[in-house]
Structure 1
Amino acid sequence: MPTTKSLTIQNERNLQRAIKYILNPEKTMGQTLTSGYKINYVNNADFEMKLTRKMARLALGQSNKKSDQEVVARHIIQSFDPNDNLTPEEIHEIGRQTVLELTGGNHEFVIATHVDQDHYHNVRPDRVLSQVV
């Protein structure tokens, strides 16, 4: 059974750092264990997420000024026990389905499965648009 940890990302600079870490080719078998949802190109995900947030605010007539306490995204880590006997591809799909369920398919995200440690784990930032809807 996987364990899950969630971290809050409160500014776009930290979102950019998180995505760079998440998509690290050395951790993801050359980015073969990465994917995105409502994202055109995972390596530009931070830009696309920023643009989506800006367009949503404009559509709602809201200011693009950000507060220090605003949640920009969530960084979720889902770790699996080596005894689960799952392939990295199976773990990646479990993570993708989990985040689709959590978001109802309403939010963009990137997901990567890291295989550089004894335990495989999924990491992903989920863009939180509920702050502006």
Structure 2
Amino acid sequence: MNEEKTVQTRNEISDAIHYIADGNKTKDGFLVTGYNVTPETSTTEFLMTQNLARAVKGDYRKTGGAEISSYHIIQSFSPEDNITPE
């Protein structure tokens, strides 16, 4: 686990989402989507899920478990593929 890339606080999650959804890279957010999460409320949703998981399953950080709150998936295509967002 890369400790520098592990996000745990509201500010860190919010900063990561802001970076990921940068309008210059995503056609002003048009290319941003989520899987079982709404991009506009994702920070709150990630924290709620994280807190619920800790309440139900316990706090894995205390036993050396991974603290993963989200995954950032990137899709890249060659300009020659002539792919549109649609």
For residue 32 of structure 1, what is the aligned residue in structure 2?
30
| Aligned counterpart for 2:83 among listed residues 73, 76, 86 | 86
Q: What fraction of aligned residue pairs are identical, expressed as a percent? A: 32
CA distance 1:45–1:65, shift in 2 (3 Å)? same
- For residue 27 of structure 1, what is the amino acid of its counterpart? K
For residue 55 of structure 1, what is the aligned residue in structure 2?
52
Is 2:39 the partner of 1:42? yes
Q: What CA RMSD, in Å, does the superposition of the two structures yield over aligned residues?
A: 3.0
- Cα deviations by residue, 1:71-101 (Å, 9 ceiling, x for unpaired): 33332322211111111x14xxxxxxxxxxx
- For residue 52 of structure 1, what is the amino acid of its counterpart? T
Which structure has greater strand proportion?
1
**Structure with more contact order per residue of length (Cα contacts < 8 Å, sep ≥ 6):** 1
- Cα deviations by residue, 1:90-123 (Å, 9 ceiling, x for unpaired): 4xxxxxxxxxxxxxxxxxxxxxxxxxxxxxxxxx
For residue 77 of structure 1, what is the aligned residue in structure 2?
74
Q: TM-score, normalised by structure 1?
A: 0.47
- For residue 51 of structure 2, what is the amino acid of its counterpart? K
Which structure has greater helix proportion?
2
The number of equivalent residue pairs is 81
Unpaired stretches in structure 1, ≥5 consecutive residues: 1-6, 91-133
Unpaired stretches in structure 2, ≥5 consecutive residues: none
CA distance 1:10–1:68, shift in 2 (3 Å)? farther
Could you tell me how far apart the structure 2 residues matched to 1:79 and 1:49 are?
A: 25
Is 2:18 the partner of 1:11? no
Deviates more, 1:64-73 or 1:75-84: 64-73
Q: TM-score, normalised by structure 2?
A: 0.65
- For residue 68 of structure 2, what is the amino acid of its counterpart? V
